[in-house]
Amino acid sequence: MAKSVFLQLAVLFLITQILGLMVANGLIKENIKATIVTENPEDIENALGLFAYIITITVVVLIIISFKRASLMLFILELSAIFATSVIVFGILLPEIAGMLAILLLSLRILLKDSILIRNIACLIAVAGAGSLIGVSLGVLPVVLFIAILAIYDYVAVFKTKHMVKIAKTVVKEKLAFTFSIPGKNKVYQLGTGDLVMPLVFVTSVMNKAKQAIGIYATIPIIATIMLASLLGLLATLYYSAKKRKVLPALPLQTLYMLIAWASFLALGAPVL
């Protein structure tokens, strides 16, 4: 994998995380959050419920793939997700023209389905919207539990059941905005949106907690360290994957690095729990 691809991935990761944190900060100010299972963000049931939602969506996608009209149904599912998340992002950042921008993005995605740029923009907006909303809606401990469970699930889904590989192949074949496309010299590399959503969920939750105690600016070193730890885990996984020429889940190593960074701040007495 060329250095230019790693650079593109790093820039894309940072832009997505920063945009998501901007949206999250707006959601916190407006006191906007979603009820996952219970109204208590610190309730562990929310972590388990969110994981159950992901399993349900995965099952639905696998069922859709088995149908002859899978392409149309998956595209409709994608457009629904893009519209919902773009409303969140534009509603916080540009509320006066949020609806117009959401419709514009949807229209461009429909008219220019083969455009890698439009697909990546749609992915970026989707990650920023979904990751920020989930992050502000959950306490840090439920998020830690959630990403730990998801990291284990990611490993099982890639190496054991292998259903995630099947879904990924379908997403790439149908050119759906569920993966980022990174053009290289000889091929286009794909990066799952989950590898960017989960870090955003974690840093958003930590930011939300720490902000209440030490203010938004004092949280920057904390969230930046966790974010960079996640990026390091992602790049290390992709490097090894390219070297060995095999599909590897990025979330396990990302989660490990993020939790180490988070635990270090926790040990130092930072208000991150």
Which segments of the chain does DSSP mark as H helices, in order? 3-29, 44-65, 70-93, 98-111, 116-137, 140-155, 163-173, 194-214, 220-244, 251-267
Give how far the C-alpha of residue 133 lies from the chain's centroid of Cα atoms, to the nearest Å.
11
User: CA 213 to CA 80: how far, in whole Å?
Assistant: 37
The answer to whether position 273 is within a domain reads no
Q: Select from 181, 194, 177 the least CA-distant residue to 134.
A: 194
The answer to whether position 252 is within a domain reads yes
The tokens describing 128, both together, are: 């920023």
The answer to whether position 10 is within a domain reads yes
Domain count, the chain: 1
The answer to whether position 198 is within a domain reads yes
**pLDDT, position 244:** 79
**Domain extent at residue 190:** 3-267
User: Which residues of the chain, if any, have pLDDT below 70?
Assistant: 1-2
Report pTM.
0.94
User: CA 179 to CA 184: how far, in whole Å?
Assistant: 15
The answer to whether position 193 is within a domain reads yes
Ramachandran angles phi, psi of 103, nearest 5° = -65, -40
The answer to whether position 272 is within a domain reads no
Residue count (the chain)? 273
The answer to whether position 129 is within a domain reads yes
